[in-house]
Amino acid sequence: MSRYTWLLLALLVGCSAPASEENGFNRQEAEARAQAAWEELPARLAKIKAPEFPKAAFSILDFGAQADTAFDSRPAIVAAIDEAAEAGGGRVVIPDGTFQCDGPLHLKSGVALELSPNAVLRFSDRPEDYLPAVKVRWEGTVCWNWS
């Protein structure tokens, strides 16, 4: 075997030392903590409540949206979101049909976006429609990305 093979083997053996209290790992303590977490789970799940939205409905058609893929309905959808937020919340309803949206939608507190059963909301595939960049979290890392 070459010296590099021996070095690699030595590193692998050194890194795979058994867990023990000497290196800071206590198996019994870890198992007890895991069991306690499972026992807490039902109480934690009981605290989670589904969001509730006001009954008010805001159809995007009332704000000028058109079920036409050549027409950008984004301004109408944004206007409906803004109106719902100003009214204290509600549902922005996308009725049956295919609606084009050339850019991002930013929901606001108390506002739900509801698509009817035969509704399609088709977004643009042009990256420039999603600028300026916004700060986001991607796999735990804060970075700038499209909206």
User: Per-residue pLDDT tens for 32-53?
Assistant: 999 999 999 999 999 999 989 9
**Residue 96 backbone dihedrals phi, psi, to 5 degrees:** -55, 140
Q: Is residue 114 in a domain?
A: yes
Least confident of 7-11, 60-64, 107-111: 7-11
My answer on whether 95 and 140 are in the same domain is: yes
Q: What is the percent of the chain where pLDDT is above 90? A: 73
Select from 83, 77, 132 the least CA-distant residue to 100.
Answer: 77
Last residue of a domain, one of 8, 29, 48: 48
My answer on whether 76 and 41 are in the same domain is: no
My answer on whether 43 and 72 are in the same domain is: no
Q: Is residue 25 in a domain?
A: yes
Select from 40, 86, 96, 89 the least CA-distant residue to 66.
Answer: 96
Q: Is the pTM higher than 0.85?
A: no
Q: What is the 3-state secondary structure (H, E, C) of the chain?
A: CCHHHHHHHHHHHHHCCCCCHHHCCCHHHHHHHHHHHHHHHHHHHHCCCCCCCCCCEEEHHHHCCCCCCCCECHHHHHHHHHHHHHCCCEEEEECCEEEEECCCCCCCCCEEEEECCCEEEEECCCHHHHCCCEEEEECCEEEEECC
* Strand arrangement of the beta sheet that strand 90-94 belongs to: 57-59, 90-94, 111-115
Q: Is residue 14 in a domain?
A: no
Residue 87, domain extent: 57-145
Indicate which CATH number applies to the domain containing 62.
Answer: 2.160.20.10
Q: Is residue 107 in a domain?
A: yes
My answer on whether 36 and 73 are in the same domain is: no
Residue 84 CB neighbour total at 10 angstroms:
25
Q: Is residue 104 in a domain?
A: yes
For the segment 27-33, the average pLDDT, to the nearest whole number, is 90
